[in-house]
Amino acid sequence: MDVVAAIRIVDQRINGISVGEFGMSVFMGVVMGIQPIFGSGDLAFCKEAAALCPEIVTVSVKEGVIPGSGRECLTEEYRERNTAAIHLHPHEARRRIYEGACEAARRFVSAPEAFSVRPLEAPYTIEIDYRTDARSVYDCRRYQHPSDLIAALNQSWEDRPQ
């Protein structure tokens, strides 16, 4: 997803479950038989990953400093509010990522079934709320497919606001 489109998204849901980019990827992966075992990124990503995939190993390497979701912000305000974060030193981040990835691989080899994600049930509904230029007014779009999650996601990608 391009950065401009991502900044415009207030919330996106698959079958009523609010997900970020990771959640979208997880459910696409489930369709293709891919199990997430490790992820690294900001603290918000790690929380989303743990909520969707309880056994996933995550490593947080940065944390945003402005509290809240930014739901109330216009697009440019949201872009500005998410520029500040506290980061680990790169050497420490690499060390933790390496250790986390090794731990995830060990756990996956010993118990791959522990990393399974419960697939969503068809029919699939994708709902995306986009920011507009008016405060607290969203461009809400909804896409459905009776049997194919990827097709529903493709509809949402092709119809995204420019």
Number of Cα atoms under 13 Å in the Cβ half of residue 110: 7
Domains in the chain with CATH codes: 3-158 (3.40.50)
Helix (H) or strand (E) holding 108: helix 90-110
Q: Which residues have a Cβ under 8 Å from the Cβ of 62 and sit 6 or more positions away?
A: 41, 42, 43, 85, 86, 87, 88
pTM tops 0.75, yes or no: yes
pLDDT means over runs of 10, the chain (162 residues) = 66 94 93 95 94 96 90 84 91 99 98 91 93 78 93 81 61
Give me the pLDDT at residue 2, please: 46
Give me the pLDDT at residue 5, please: 62
